[in-house]
């Protein structure tokens, strides 16, 4: 069986599908109550796939939230294969009809269902205009896969992902996301780029996977420990450790306080770098669990 091939030069030269015409053919308007905001700005649609790292493997690209297929169409131009997840049965049926040739030749697979519940296939990159209501949950399902991600988020969420320690946006989301890769906000997208327009601006975020510059023996505990301390971000690390054992899973938080150095204990979570969190989590794992 031969591997599916990307578009021929003739096919690639065809004009991209018009996003407004796609909405017309689908016969469905976006529903904000269902987290449906269709991206209709041709210029933004053209740029999004280009934000993948130059050396990204595009042999199998995942798209979460296909909508009417405007981004799907652009992804099929740069990928050997695309799998799109769409929870709206009407839109899933439209995608299969609109892209019948690509489905037939094996270049496009449409998975109907909730991306948080479906068994996702192996994929080499993910490019998506995510449903904003599941941004956090789906992002942390994608990050451990260790592949390049180009994802659309509400502006506040994306900026928090990329925030550096010591800034007001820096928090649990920043540390957890940056544990898996380099996180960059690569474009701000205005409300008018969508139909219907959302209530807030959006951003495109690129995550380039890389190993962290620190080691943690138990990744799950590390992430829970970070989560716990940020629930007490206005308190010192000393009090945060003592007050959040029910979240972090520590059985002896006082032993961790006794073992940690005073300079760390006086800090607050917003001033701790990911590597400092990792060192403290390692100490907590050793002395307090």
User: Does 86 count as an annotated binding residue?
Assistant: yes
Angle subtended at Cα 202 by Cα 172 and Cα 171, rounded to the nearest 5 degrees: 10
Do the annotations mark residue 67 as ligand-binding? no
Confirm whether residue 114 is marked as ligand binding.
Answer: yes
pLDDT attached to residue 144: 96
Q: Which domain holds residue 231?
A: 219-288
- Residue 60 in marked binding region: no
In this structure, the chain runs to a length of 289
Residue 13: per-residue pLDDT: 57
**At a CB cut-off of 8 Å and minimum separation 6, what does 277 contact?**
175, 222, 225, 226, 229
Residue 110 falls inside a structural domain = yes
Question: Up-side HSE of residue 154: CA atoms within 13 Å toward CB?
Answer: 12
DSSP 139-179: HHHHGGG-S-EEEEEEHHHHHHHHPPTTSTT-SHHHHHHHT
129 is in an annotated binding site: yes
Output the domain CATH number for residue 242.
1.10.8
Contact present, 19 and 26 (Cβ < 8 Å): no
At residue 116, the 3 state secondary structure works out as coil
Predicted TM-score (pTM) above 0.85: yes
Which of 209, 237, 266 is where one domain is finished?
Answer: 209
If asked whether residues 197 and 260 sit together in one domain, one would say no
Judgement on whether residues 225 and 173 belong to the same structural domain of the protein? no
| Cα–Cα distance for residue pair 143/11, rounded to 1 Å | 33
CA atoms of 9 and 20, how far apart (whole Å):
25
267 and 161, same structural domain?
no
Does residue 35 lie in a domain region? yes
Q: Are 16 and 143 found together in one domain?
A: yes
Residue 39 in marked binding region: yes
| Average pLDDT, consecutive stretches of 10 residues, N- to C-terminus, the chain (289 residues) | 44 80 91 84 97 97 97 98 96 97 98 96 97 92 97 97 96 96 98 94 97 93 96 96 96 97 97 96 95
Same domain, 84 and 201: yes
């Amino acid at each position: 069986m031969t591997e599916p091939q990307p578009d021929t030069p003739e096919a690639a030269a065809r004009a991209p599908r018009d996003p407004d015409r796609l909405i017309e053919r689908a016969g469905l308007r976006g529903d904000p109550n269902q987290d449906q905001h269709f991206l209709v700005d041709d210029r933004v649609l053209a740029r999004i796939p280009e934000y993948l790292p130059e050396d990204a493997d595009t042999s199998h690209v995942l798209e979460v939230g296909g909508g009417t297929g405007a981004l799907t169409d652009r992804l099929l131009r740069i990928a050997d294969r695309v799998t799109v997840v769409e929870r709206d049965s009407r839109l899933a049926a439209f995608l299969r009809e609109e892209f019948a040739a690509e489905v037939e030749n094996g270049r496009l697979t449409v998975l109907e269902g909730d991306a948080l519940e479906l068994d996702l296939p192996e994929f080499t990159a993910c490019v998506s205009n995510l449903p904003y209501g599941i941004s956090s949950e789906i992002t942390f399902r994608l990050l451990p896969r260790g592949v390049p991600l180009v994802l659309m988020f509400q502006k506040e969420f994306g900026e928090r992902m990329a925030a550096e320690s010591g800034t007001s946006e820096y928090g649990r989301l920043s540390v957890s996301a940056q544990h898996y890769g380099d996180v960059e906000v690569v474009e701000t997208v205005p409300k008018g780029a969508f139909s219907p327009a959302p209530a807030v601006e959006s951003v495109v975020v690129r995550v380039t996977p890389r190993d962290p510059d620190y080691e943690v023996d138990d990744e799950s505990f590390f992430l829970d420990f970070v989560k716990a301390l940020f629930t007490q971000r206005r308190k010192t690390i000393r009090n945060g450790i003592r007050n959040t054992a029910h979240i972090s899973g520590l059985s002896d938080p006082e032993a961790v306080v006794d073992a940690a150095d005073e300079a760390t204990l006086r800090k607050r979570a917003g001033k701790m770098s990911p590597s400092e969190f990792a060192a403290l989590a390692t100490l907590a794992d050793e002395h307090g669990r």
